[in-house]
Amino acid sequence: MPNGELKGHRQRLRERFLNVEESSRQEETLLELLLSFVIPQKDVLPIAKRLIDDFGGLTKVLDAPFEELCKVDGIKTNTATLLKLVDWIRLNHAEKSAISKPIPKPKEVEVTLFDGIEREEDERQPALVVTPKSKNRKIISRRGTELFGKSALKEAIDLLPTLPDTESLDEIQDFLINALHFSAIQTRQRSTQYIIRRMFPKGYADRSLRVFATKFAGKQELQDVCFYRFLKAEPLEIYIIEDLLIPNLGIGKMNRKKLRDYLANRYPDSRSIKDSMFAVIDALKAGGISKADRNNLYFGYREVLIPSFAFILHSEFSEPGMYDINKLESNQFFRAMLWNPDRFLSSLYELRNMGLISKISEIDNFRQFTTKWTLEQLVEQLNAGGNGS
């Protein structure tokens, strides 16, 4: 970046921060701004991205030991000292100040650098809070931008069948960190958090998914179910399927550039468009929804697989009871699976014939199906052979 352009860019960074613009609170932007005060005559955004990728988030960069920071390419002692100084102020002075200061009225509340750091960490990282004397974790939904940089879906599909037989996310976390194939511990930790947040959103490793994963290890049925849970956690993937893939089903393919343009138009201030595009495509491939080469994505309607159809049906219609078939046919998650919608009704009848749902009623415009199991009970039936009679 030419010197004049670099100065102008840094000035805009400062102005956006002082004007409390939302884009200035992204963790990469906050770290870039901080580094710009200590690293002259150089584009520091690549260094900011490298730090966040290596350590797993802005708060973890500040938490990192001085010696580890100095090992990162582009970080010298002065820069590492500044980061540790900010960390100390964040943990000590800011906390004491908050305790001694009276609570301001709403109109007096200001956003500080440290507020931005904490909020951006929440936005980027899947927050997992373990409450004392509780085996469950509270999974906090990510706030802020809907973009995500890693899918980790293939890793989830590969490892779910091998998980220990426990609901404890602490044990699951330890297992995944050791089992993931990445060499860097920070990458394994980050990927573990992605998998846990997306696959186990209720705060425990539910038996339904664990049993289903063991039963259908290595099969498309497991890919379907994991992709469904991924969709529940990452709404951006739904938007892309509805706005880009479904309208192009007649062609059966789409250029990658169309996806990139879609993301750039939707998130004009983001600098993570390329990473997000790759993550979206990785999830589509891992779920068996689409194939891809360097230029295009290839997709079409897929055949309905009864076990995964049943799992998602009992997830979306979770309480045993009577439901309108139209609600199934219009359900966004069923549409996003790219299952052939002409097969939905016949799949319901197949479930009824297998004894996995109670009945189907079609009288004029009155169309309903009746379930009789919870999701866990359904999975037990599938695991036992699929006959619920």
Contact 262, 280 (CB under 8 A): no
Q: Residue 11, Cβ neighbours under 10 Å: how many?
A: 11
Q: At what angle do helices 207-215 and 220-233 cross, to 10 degrees?
A: 150
Separate counts of helices (H) and strands (E) for the chain: 21, 8
pLDDT of 105 reads 43
Calpha distance 121→63 (Å, rounded): 12
pLDDT of 10 reads 81
Give the model confidence (pLDDT) of 351-368 as tens digits. Answer: 999 999 999 999 988 999
Contact 387, 353 (CB under 8 A): no
pLDDT of 87 reads 85
Burial of 257 (0-12, 13-18, 19+ CB in 10 A): exposed
From the options 1.10.1740, 1.10.10, 1.20.120, 2.60.40, give the CATH code of 234-300. 1.10.10
Low-confidence ranges of the chain (pLDDT < 70): 1-7, 93-145, 386-389
pLDDT of 5 reads 62
pTM over 0.85: no
**DSSP H helical segments within 142-301, as ranges?**
153-159, 169-179, 185-199, 207-215, 220-233, 235-240, 256-266, 273-286
pLDDT of 188 reads 93
Burial of 283 (0-12, 13-18, 19+ CB in 10 A): buried
Contact 248, 179 (CB under 8 A): no
Task: Tell the CATH topology of 306-384.
Answer: Arc Repressor Mutant, subunit A (1.10.10)
41: helix, coil or strand?
coil
Give the model confidence (pLDDT) of 52-67 as tens digits. Answer: 888 878 888 998 889 8
pLDDT of 243 reads 97
The amino acid at residue 44 is V
Calpha distance 283→195 (Å, rounded): 12
pLDDT of 386 reads 59
Contact 335, 301 (CB under 8 A): no
Calpha distance 350→181 (Å, rounded): 40
The amino acid at residue 60 is K
Q: What are the tokens at 246?
A: 């479904």
Structural domain spans, the chain: 3-118, 149-218, 234-300, 306-384
| β-strand partners of 271 | none
To which H or E segment does residue 328 belong? helix 325-329
